[in-house]
Amino acid sequence: MHSVNYKDYLNLVLKGAGLCLFEVDVEKQRYVRFENAEAIYQVSGEKVLSDLEEFSSLTPDAYMKAVSDYFVHPDDHGTVADAFGKVLNGQQAVYDARMKCGTGKYHWCRVCATPYMREDKLYLIGVVSDVSNLYDLILKEKEKNMKDTFTECYNKNGFKELCKKFLDKNPRPSYAFIMIDLDDFKAINDNFGHETGDKVLLETVKQLREFFPRPSLIGRFGGDEFMVLCPFSQKELLEETINHFMECTIPPYSVKKSVGYTFIPDDKIDYEEIIKTADKALYTAKQKKNCAVFSSIS
C-alpha cells in the first residue's frame, strides 16, 4: 500500500465503480476533463478530448449535433438536447441514452449532469455509468410478456405492438398480413383429447416458422388462430408460399387450414383496418375450408 494524490484517488474510485467522469466549459464549448473513459467508451480520455476539440469552434446548434453524433445513438439525440437545456437553466439532468463505444456498438448508459459556476462561468460535470445489464433484463422481461407461454409465438398484444413498429419504419418493405385458422380443430380436442390438440398447435407453429422465417412476425391470436406479418418482394412467390404451407398437413390427423390474407399498401399503416380486412378474408375461407382467400384493403 502507498499514498496517492487526489487525482489518483479519484481514478481509483472511478475504476472501482466502473464510472466515467467528464467536465465541460459550457461557454467555450470545450470538454476539459475525461476520466476513466475506457470504462464506458473503450478509448482513452485523451483521445476523446482530442476528438472533441475540433467541435469547439462550431455554432451552438452545430456543436450540439456534432457531440451527439460522436457519443449517442441517433434516436437518443432528443434526450440529450433536453438534458442540455436543463443544464443551461441551472438544473441537474439525469438521463439514459445509448452510447457508442470504440467498437462502434451502442450500449445503454445513465448520465448525471450537474451545472456549477466557477469564476462566473458555467461549467458542467457529468458522471456516466453503464446500465446495459439493467436494460437487458427489462427487454427480456418485456419480451417474455409479449409471448404466448405455450407456443412462444407473440401474443395478441405483443404482435400488435411489434407489427405497428415494423409498419412505421420508413422506408419499409412490402408486407402481407396473413391470418390462419385450423379447420375443425375442436373435433381434434373432442376425439383425441387436448394433449393431442396441443401437439397439433405446436406442429402448426413449427410449419409457420419454416414457411415464414424471420424477419416475419408470427403471433397467436387465440385458440387455433394465428397471424403472420410477412415481408415480400414478389406477390407470386408469397402466394406460392402460402399454398405450400396449406398443402403441408399435420399427420396423422389430416388437419387442414383456412387462410385469409391481404397486402398492405405503402400508405396504409392502420393496424385495425389491416386486421379487419384479413379477418374478413379468413371468415370467407372458413366457410369453404381448406382454402386461401385474398381481400384487398380499400
Please give the pLDDT value at position 268. Answer: 67
Residue 117: φ, ψ to 5°: -100, 140
Query: Is pLDDT at 148 greater than 80 in this prediction?
Result: yes
**Measured CA angle at 174 (ends 78, 147), to 5 deg:** 70
Asked if residues 35 and 10 have their Cβ atoms less than 8 Å apart, the reply is yes
224-277: pLDDT as tens digits: 999 999 999 899 999 999 999 999 988 788 789 999 999 998 876 789 999 999
**30-35 and 93-100 as β-strands: parallel, antiparallel, unpaired?**
unpaired
Please give the pLDDT value at position 254. Answer: 79
Please give the pLDDT value at position 141. Answer: 86
- Can you tell me which residue has the cell 415481408? 231
Cα–Cα nearest to 182, from 162, 203, 152: 203
Please give the pLDDT value at position 170. Answer: 67
Residue 106: φ, ψ to 5°: -105, 145
172-205: pLDDT as tens digits: 889 999 999 999 899 999 989 999 999 999 999 9
Mean model confidence pLDDT for the chain: 91
Query: Is pLDDT at 124 greater than 90 in this prediction?
Result: yes
27-45: pLDDT as tens digits: 999 999 999 999 999 999 9
Strand pairing partners for 22?
A: 34, 126
287-296: pLDDT as tens digits: 999 999 999 9
Please give the pLDDT value at position 263. Answer: 94
Report the percentage of the chain scoring pLDDT > 70: 98
Cα–Cα nearest to 177, from 190, 194, 164: 164
Please give the pLDDT value at position 3. Answer: 56
Higher-confidence residue of 298 and 297: namely 297
pLDDT-derived band at 1 (thresholds 50, 70, 90) equals very low
81-101: pLDDT as tens digits: 999 999 999 999 999 999 998
Please give the pLDDT value at position 4. Answer: 59
pLDDT-derived band at 213 (thresholds 50, 70, 90) equals very high
